[in-house]
Amino acid sequence: MGASSLIVLAIAGIVFSAGGMMIAKIFVKGTKNPQKGQAYESGIKSTGTTWSQFNVGYYLFALVFLVFDVELVFLYPWAVVVKSVGITALIEIIIFIFILFMGFLYAHKKGALKWI
């Protein structure tokens, strides 16, 4: 054990991953055709470029959704212990929701919820 094991681990890691790639290189027949390079889209031929523009509004909606998603994740464990912790838990969750609510108000003020 000690430093030597770490070095052995590092070398083994490199050999393992590089070796796999080398073996694949040796045994694969190097045929190339345009269809191979295409993205697989449910068997249907893909058309157009993938670099198309999306409306930024989707992202803003997703972000605002995420805020309340996370809030909900925190609310479940809170709901389990609220009875035993008592009034402190109530105050803490009010502060927590207030903080998130401020974020929501900010998003609303910036017009993130207006659709186009």
Scan residues 5-24 and list those touching another protein (CB under 8 A): 6
CB of 62 to another protein, least distance (A): 18
CA distances from 86 to 58, 76, 77 (A): 40, 16, 14
* Strand, helix or coil for residue 13: helix
Q: At what angle are helices 56-85 and 87-109 packed, to 10 degrees?
A: 170
Q: How far is the CB of 69 from another protein (least distance, A)?
A: 20
79 binds another protein (CB under 8 A): no
According to CB under 8 A, which residues from 82 to 111 bind another protein? 99, 102, 105-106, 109
